[in-house]
Amino acid sequence: MDIVMDKAALAAFMDEAFPQVAGDFRVEHLTPEGIVMRLLAHERHLRPGGTVSGPAMFALADVAVYLAILARIGPVGLAVTTNMSIDFMRKPPAGRDLLAEARLLKLGRALAVGDVLIRSEGTEPVVARATATYSIPPR
């Protein structure tokens, strides 16, 4: 599908719509199938031992699929997550950003589905995987 919002437009949308969390995430680049997003390793995402928290990984997967959708349908603020299933497979090492690679598997009239692989920057093993379903309002 054609890209209708580029990296800069997505970042501006985040700043505007989600000021509370926009500083935690960064669009790395759009891909033919989706997007790559970064979670900046802030203190507030950490758990004892320095590992990134589950909710922070959830948020990363969620925003990655969301922006992958918006990149293709434009700034539809009302798309909402209806389901997220996430598997935590390895403890991410402390002090590294996380990179989420999302791909859209379906972008339908009313529902979109994407899956996500999360890795610690510079390492190969998958730390977590997730699938998100979004309900898209009529447009």
Q: How far is the CB of 5 from its own copies (least distance, A)?
A: 18
SS3 70: helix
In the complex, the smallest distance separating the C-beta of residue 26 from its own copies, rounded to whole angstroms, is 17
129/87 Cα distance (integer angstroms): 5
Q: How many CA atoms lie within 13 A of 96 on its CB side?
A: 14
Q: Does residue number 1 form part of the binding site for its own copies (CB under 8 A)?
A: no
Nearer to its own copies, 26 or 129 (CB): 129
What's the Cα-to-Cα distance from 82 to each of 8, 41, 97, rounded to whole Å? 27, 27, 27
Length of the chain: 139
Q: By CB under 8 A, is residue 9 in contact with its own copies? A: no
DSSP for residue 93: P
Q: Smallest distance from the beta carbon of 23 to its own copies, in angstroms? A: 13
**11 near its own copies (CB under 8 A):** no
In the list 48, 122, 124, 139, the residue contacting its own copies (rule: CB under 8 A) is 48
CA atoms lying within 13 Å on the CB side of residue 108: 9
The reply on whether position 105 binds its own copies by CB under 8 A is yes
Taking the C-alpha atoms of residue 41 and residue 95, their distance in angstroms, rounded to an integer, is 6
Binding stretches for its own copies (CB under 8 A): 17-18, 20, 44, 46-48, 53-56, 58-59, 62, 77, 80-91, 105-106, 108, 110-111, 113, 115, 117, 126, 129, 131, 133, 135
